[in-house]
Structure 1
Amino acid sequence: MISMKNSAASKRKHYSLFWATYTLVVLGVAAVGMALGLIFGYAIDLPRVDELQKVRPNVVSYVYADDGRVLGQFATEKRILVTYDQIPKHLKEAILAAEDSQFFRHSGIDFSRAFMTLFRDAVFGERKGFSTLTMQLSKLQFTSRDRTLKRKITDMLYAIEIEKTYSKEQIFTIYFNQIYMGHGTYGFAAAADYYLHKELKDLTVAEAALLAGIVQSPERHSPINHPDQALRRRNNYVLARMLKERFIDQATYEKNLKEPLAVQGRNFESGPAPYFVEWVRIHLEQKHTADEIWKSGLKIYTTVDYDMQVAANRAVRDGLKRFDRERRRWHGPIERGQDPSTYRHPDWLEIFYEGLMIPGVVVQSGASQAQVKLGSYTALLGPDDVKWTGRKRVDEVLRRGDVAMFTITKINQNERTLQVTLDRVPEAQAALLAVENKTGAIKAMVGGFDFRYSKFNRATQALRQPGSIFKPFTYVTAMESGYSPYDTVLDAPVSFRDGLGRLYEPTNEDEEYKGLITIQQALYQSRNVPTIRLANALGIKRIIDVAHRFGIRREFPPYLPVSLGAGELTLLDITSAFTTFPNNGVRAEPYFIKRVEDYNGVALEEHRNRIEEVISPDTAGKMVFMLRQVALHGTAATAVHAAGEDFKRPMGGKTGTTNDFTDSWFVGFIPQVTAGVWAGRDEKKTLGNRVFGATLALPIWVDFMRDVFKQVPATDFETSYQPAGPSENDNSQLLTSQPVSNEPITVEDIKPPL
């Protein structure tokens, strides 16, 4: 009986085991079938991957100075494409160690790594990925960052297809050029340039490890925003992995652990020529599409001299700040009562560099020192850094919680400290333009104090009254009419009435009159009344025609005050016009782009010089002779003589000031280069009492030319003119005490400048 029961139980057990096994097999087959069906379903939707290498990604368009140095760039994605052979061995190894050490051994999917990752996820709850470089490339090119099963399966299928289509070297190179590296940079070559200012071939092992460590999370591992995190990632993970994979030995590992984090960052918008680069972009838009400019990798070769451009920036900034401190007392910080522990400013997200003016918050302040926070940096401020305010104690100027502007003079990346001075944004603006006389090439351009605060280019866009800077066109007309620099003109009160009976009585700036003086003296001392007498005798329409011949294509009303600069023009207009004098009467049309090439080096546009003779060499020689006297004996003499021995070389120029002291001008030239400076307020308000061209614009010009003289040799002007005394021309009209004009003289809204 017992035996029969055991037999029945055994049969039931085998029966249950059979059905359990059968059910598992059926479910397993169904699961495999479903998985295969799912994979097949995803697979038939996959687009072709054989076009992957043929599609060129977006690349940077570069703007180059005349010596090949980079001035700026246009890019939606900052990327520099390289070949596999251009990638250093230690950088390849750093990437493999950090991201996929089995890359050259697997076929797109690292199954052992995948199973181990899934096991650790299930058992220990670790959330780690197992994407290979090929799977990451699939995610970059074909799928997305969604954390879904479908995307993971699709990435694996893509990886298999990519591996069947391309070699390992091709896959690695595409990945190397495409991966996002933070701060708008794509690919390791662009990242090396951006973070380290280096080419790939110059990277150390530690720097290669730093870049490789960014890939996992460009925001979290950014060496700009999170240097401590980036350093830990480099040392504790990437270098350690390189040692474990035997890419480096123990000595190399220990040596590179000690290498400091020397990250600088690169900000082309705050580079040496932001106004100029923007001018280039505006020009390109007239001939090229937006995609060509921003995505196709154009090479734009310009005329700018890099060193002159740096000097121009420095001269404008220093000149405006110096003038602002002399004319305007310290009015206190821009904010008060902030909590230093919580205060943040958007400008702190920028790349810091020496010369940058940026807000900072005072953490603590005492009589001899204040601590300032600027983003992740700190700085100490001493009495010398605030002495321009006229205060001796630091805490008389700044207190805890104050927010003020500071200029960075030195950066210590490793200690995260700065050296700064107290500063502020000047109320006045300025522009500077330098042009090569013989060719018309723009060598330097500054359009304002700081491009970050105002993108309006005052060198090319601002129409301002030129004041006395316009006077040379009257004297050109006189020389062409047969007068000599030694002929005389009467500097005595004069008045005119227009057709409506309104009285116009021009005066000199000093409200004095010198009587009979030479024409050259009238020009180099910038006398208004003699200039008006000349203009009246010669005819204002002739003078306007002369200005047009010099390339000033502005319309001027035919009124006598125009001869004193009552019209409007740009700094580019007047600076280009002045190049005619030192160039023997020949003017070259100004230009700034020499050549534009596409990504493959094919020329898309190329400049051809356009020159024309504006005045005769004899007239040009007379004008150079008279304009040289401005620097020797005239309105620019004091500043030029004070500038020192370097300025005892052949040079000429002209100051300019307008009514109510709203505009300060100086355009000066040497045989090789002409440079013009304008300064004023955008609102056309006064700069202050008795602010002349020699007060603000001329010192900026002197500072700029001091650097120019270091690279441009001193030579004399090529002129055949030899001063010989008065002409035999009848100048009786210039001596008349009360000339009468039949032409309209003035209008209500035109005032004669100084």
Structure 2
Amino acid sequence: MAVLAIAVGSLSGLMLVYSVNLPQIQDLERYQPDTITELYDVHGRPFGSFALERRVVVDYNSFSPLLRQAVISIEDKNFESHGGVNVFRVLGAIYHDIASKGRAQGASTLTMQLARNLFLSSERTGSRKLQEIFLSLQIEHAFTKEQIFTLYANQIALGHGTFGFEAGARYYFSKHAKDLTLPEAALLAGLPKGPSEFSPISNPDRAFRRRNQVINAMLEDGAITAAQADAARTAPLGLHLEPPPNSIAPWFVEEVRRELERQFGADRVHEAGLKVETTLDLDLQQTANRAVLDGLAAYERRHGWKGRLLNVPAGGLDIHTFRHPDWVETATPDMYMHGLVTGILPYQATVKLGNRDIVLTPESWSWTRFKTAPEFLHLGDIVYVHITGQSGNELSGTLEQDSGAQSSLLAMDNSTGDVLALVGGRDFNLSQFDRATQAERQTGSSFKPYVYTAAVEDGATPGEMILDAPTSFGSYTPHNYEGNFLGAITLERAFADSRNIPALKLAQRVGIHKVIDVTHQFGVTSNIPAFLPVALGSVEINLLEHVASYSVFPNDGIRVAPRLIRKVTTSDGIPLTEPAPEVKEVTSVKTARTMMTLLKSVIAPGGTGADAMALHHPLGGKTGTTSDYTDAWFMGFSPSVTCGVWVGYDNRQSLGDKETGAHAALPIWMDFMRAAIADKPDEHFPGDLSAPLLANTQPASR
């Protein structure tokens, strides 16, 4: 009895020592795992997310029976019958550890794994194991088996930043956990033992063997038939990786992230599973992506093959282990992607695009004027490819060029300020710098609407005559783009033809300080020096502010501040913020409608943007080109949407002779606006009930 009393006392003391610092079981009842903050477009479609742990919490019935059985068969065969601890398995593990003089044998049940993952460290000591056992017994007492499995299945790490089987199913197979096939369920069930060791991406052979081990365990348990097991064991891994979460609108997502972190803090944004309703229109965003890349490709081809390709071996890298940043995405049709030349024949070049290859033929590079591949390509060259199609598993495409030219595009809804599409550059994987919101570039003639607005507020009218003739302003002697002078012309003609001398005369007449005041009133925050050449656009403005300012004209003088977020709620649907549009009157209706007369004349016969008449829709806008063709702009709008496009180089080198706003930026703008106005055939500007525009005539490029 004395020995028994000592034993009971010792055990009680051990229980007290190792349980005193244990988490309270009530903590698990209130447990909220880190989940994904998801972004939705205006139609409720997900397109982006933030997370430290990519986890999607679902209920018990959202895990397929095959997956539940696979997990139980490989991890805890007696899950349904034990009380949290499998005594025989623990004793067996202890015996194995003693016999092998190590700690190689696991004995954890699903409940013990859950306790460890939620509350304890991963160190392998006796004291931690005792705490794990005590916690497991409490969990089994407080929760049902379904609840325990659900907690485990939503918590477990599965590699590559994914946690829980729902997120794992989406990441590895692009489907929900309830829809997994037997081979897919077995592969996921095998990952908790070693997410890195058995990763089907990093270690496919080990993943294959581990998956089949799970299938064999299910067969031993009678959960599947021998025929099912045979078919599953011979099936390929069948990965269908989910596209990177923020690949469609990466610059937009980054802007939203920065704004959310300012409001709620980084921890809450990345851990709390917020639901963010944004202003993005996914269809228009995809149109914008294509328009920018197609426009840059057309620009590159106009200037011919430049070569100067980076070469992997020449840079001291191994051609077999090299991975380009673009390869985080899977090569699919309609993508532009950098690739690695891995094979060259006279009339064929093989290019690696991540885990896929594409074969280029002379038709693919005919625009370069080279007949054979060895004339201008070498093994290890990094080339730029437009994937145009796919037949079976074979990709087809064309060779393009990336000389470093960049473009940005931003479009917003005139009435709400909602930013509908945003492109910040050519390739987010190579440069995350947002040229739509972070870059300030000289605006060229796209600045002239601010000059003319100041003049209209001072009493000028579209029909007023002004002399376009040689003149000097002190020591400053300007000239027109064409180098000629038209004499006495109307302000409307001067604006449509983007004449420099009339713009400078108007700026001098009203005073450059008045022009600067109007520009700031429209929402431009740039510091603008008070000297006359500012009237021709020698001031730097970012695209976002420029677009918001232009939207004032079709809005009858009202400025609606651009916004990216419409509503933010918690994971439970509780609203956190729902900002209303910020509205401000910046000029009178009369001035705005007078300016509309001028802006519409640009997209009319003889205007610098006359090419846009091909869209057969009410439109207005202004071209912009800076000295030496370093920046090309087109800023324009329909009654409902304002869109701006910029083209240039980050290092401010010239785009090349005659690369004006009408030549370099307007085609991109037209490609986008064609989609933006497609479902608005009957819209018109305020106070304008005129008939649709007629066919296009030959414009002057500026």
Q: Output one character per residue of 1:323-358: Cα deviation in whole Å (capped at 9) or x when no partner.
A: 234325232531154786743336387343536666
Structure 1 residue aligned with 2:697: none
Does the 8 Å contact 2:442/2:539 carry over to 1?
Answer: yes
Report the residue type matching 1:613 in the other structure. E
Aligned equivalent of 2:106:
129
- Counterpart of 1:601 in structure 2 is 573
Distance across 2 between alignment mates of 1:698 and 1:308? 17
- 1:506 corresponds to which residue? 478
| Cα distance in 2 for residues equivalent to 1:416 and 1:211 | 26
Question: Which residue in 2 is equivalent to 1:390?
Answer: 369
Q: Matched residues in 2 for 1:299 and 1:244: separation?
A: 44
> Counterparts in 2 of 1:37-116, with a 5 A limit?
42-43=18-19, 46-114=22-90
Tell me which residue corresponds to 1:350: 328
Aligned-pair CA distance for 1:445: 1.0
Query: How far 1:565 moved relative to its partner?
Result: 1.5
Match of 1:647 in 2: 615
2:553 to 568, 574, 581: 581
Counterpart of 1:717 (choices 680, 685, 689) is 685
Q: Is the 8 A contact 1:53 1:174 kept in 2?
A: no
Q: Is 1:144 aligned to residue 121 of structure 2?
A: yes
Which digits, 9 at most, give the CA deviation of each residue in 1:438-471, with x for residues without a partner? 1111111111222222222221222222111111
- Within-5 A mapping of 1:413-452: 422-452=399-429
CA deviation vs aligned residue, 1:292-351 (integer Å, no higher than 9, x gap): 122112222111111111111222222223323432523253115478674333638734
* Identity across matched positions, percent: 40
Structure 2 residue aligned with 1:369: 348
Moved more, 47-56 or 297-306: 47-56
Q: 1:675 aligns with which of 638, 643, 652?
A: 643
Please show how residues 606-617 of structure 1 align to structure 2 within 5 Å: 606-617=578-589
SS at match of 2:662: coil
The answer to whether the Cα contact below 8 Å between 2:634 and 2:644 also exists between their aligned partners in 1 is: yes
Q: How does 1:141-540 map to 2 (within 5 A)?
A: 141-227=118-204, 229-234=206-211, 236-249=212-225, 253=229, 261-266=237-242, 268=244, 270-327=246-303, 329-335=305-311, 337=313, 342-345=320-323, 347=325, 350-354=328-332, 360-406=339-385, 422-497=399-474, 503-540=475-512
Cα deviations across residues 77-112 of structure 1 (Å, max 9, x unaligned)? 111122224333333223223322321111223344
CA 1:131–1:419 in 2, change beyond 3 Å: closer, same or farther? Answer: farther
TM-score by length of 1: 0.82
1:619 maps to 591
For residues 732-751 of structure 1, what are the structure 2 equivalents within 5 Å?
A: none
Q: Which amino acid aligns with 1:171?
A: I
For 1:536-584, what per-residue CA distance to the aligned partner results, in whole angstroms no more than 9, with x for missing partners?
Answer: 2333333333323322234433332222222222111221111122223
Letter in 2 for 1:69: R
Structure 1 residue 474 displacement after superposition = 2.5
* Equivalent pair of 1:622/1:721 in contact (CA under 8 Å): no
CA deviation string 1:639-660 (max 9, x = no partner) = 435xxxx611221111001112
**In the superposition, relative to structure 1, how do residues 248 and 417 fare at CA in structure 2: closer, same or farther (>3 Å)?**
farther
CA RMSD of aligned residues (A): 3.5
1:521, distance to aligned residue in structure 2 (A): 1.1
- Counterpart code for 1:299: K
Once residues 622 and 109 of structure 1 are traced to their aligned partners in structure 2, the CA distance between those partners, rounded to angstroms, is: 81
- 8 Å Cα contact 1:438/1:587 also seen in 2: no
SS at match of 1:129: coil
- Cα deviation, residue 159, structure 1: 2.5
Query: Which SS does the other structure have where 1:496 is aligned?
Result: coil
Query: Shift of the alpha carbon at 1:115?
Result: 5.1
Distance 2:534 2:470 in 1: 19
Aligned equivalent of 1:743:
none
For residues 226 and 417 of structure 1, what CA distance do their matches in structure 2 show? Answer: 25
Inter-CA distance 142–407: structure 2 relative to 1 (3 Å threshold): farther
CA contact under 8 A between 1:435 and 1:443: conserved in structure 2? Answer: yes
The 2-side partners of 1:416 and 1:135 are apart by 45
In the alignment, residue 561 of structure 1 is paired with which amino acid? P
Partner Cα distance (2:335, 2:206) in 1:
25
Contact 1:671–1:715, Cα closer than 8 Å, also in 2? yes
Secondary structure at the aligned position of 1:214 is classed as coil
* Residues 453 and 591 in structure 2, CA contact (< 8 A), matched pair in contact too: yes
Q: How many residues align?
A: 687
1:343–1:360 Cα change, 3 Å = farther
SS in 1 for 2:264: coil
User: Structure 1 counterpart of 2:639, which letter?
Assistant: P
Deviation at 1:493, TM superposition (A): 0.8
Contact 2:609-2:621 within 8 A present in 1 as well: no
Cα displacement (A) at 1:359:
5.3
- Separation (CA, whole Å) in 2 of partners of 1:420 and 1:109: 59
What secondary structure does 1:287 align onto? Answer: helix
Task: Quote the residue 2:695 is aligned against.
Answer: none
Rounded to whole Å, the distance in 2 between the matches of 1:181 and 1:541 is: 62
Report if the CA contact (8 A) 1:635-1:655 is conserved: no
Partners in 1 of 2:486 and 2:360 — Cα distance? 54
Instruction: Specify the SS of the correspondent of 1:558.
Output: coil
Q: Give unmatched runs, 5+ long, in structure 2.
A: 692-701
CA distance in 2, matches of 1:647, 1:538: 36
Aligned partner of 2:673 in structure 1 is: 705
Q: Secondary structure at the match of 2:633?
A: strand
In 2, the alpha carbon distance for the partners of 1:493 and 1:586 equals 37
Q: Which amino acid aligns with 1:660?
A: D
Deviates more, 1:224-233 or 1:275-284: 224-233
* Further displaced range: 659-668 or 326-335: 326-335
Which of 605, 608, 630 pairs up with 1:662?
630
- Contact 1:596/1:603, CA 8 A, preserved across alignment: yes
What amino acid maps onto 1:551 in structure 2?
G
Instruction: Give matches, 1:689-700, under 5 Å.
Output: 689-700=657-668
Amino acid across the alignment from 2:571: Y
Deviation of 1:184 after TM superposition, in Å, equals 0.8
* One-letter amino acid matched to 1:459: A
Alpha-carbon shift at residue 154 of structure 1 (Å): 4.3
SS in 1 for 2:148: helix
Give the stretch that moved more between structures: 662-671 or 554-563: 554-563
Counterpart contact for 2:331–2:356, Cα < 8 Å:
no
658-667 vs 86-95, greater mean Cα deviation:
86-95
Please give the alpha-carbon distance, in whole angstroms, between the structure 1 residues aligned to 2:240 and 2:678.
28
Question: Structure 2: how far apart are the matches of 1:524 and 1:49?
Answer: 74
Range with greater deviation from structure 2 (91-100 or 149-158): 149-158
Q: Which structure: larger Rg?
A: 1
Deviations 1:455-514 (A, max 9, x none): 2222122222211111122323333344432232211111122xxxxx111210111011
Between the aligned partners of 1:32 and 1:352, the Cα distance in structure 2 is 62
Q: 2:414–2:640: 8 Å Cα contact kept in structure 1? A: yes
- d(CA) in 1 for partners of 2:128, 2:372: 64
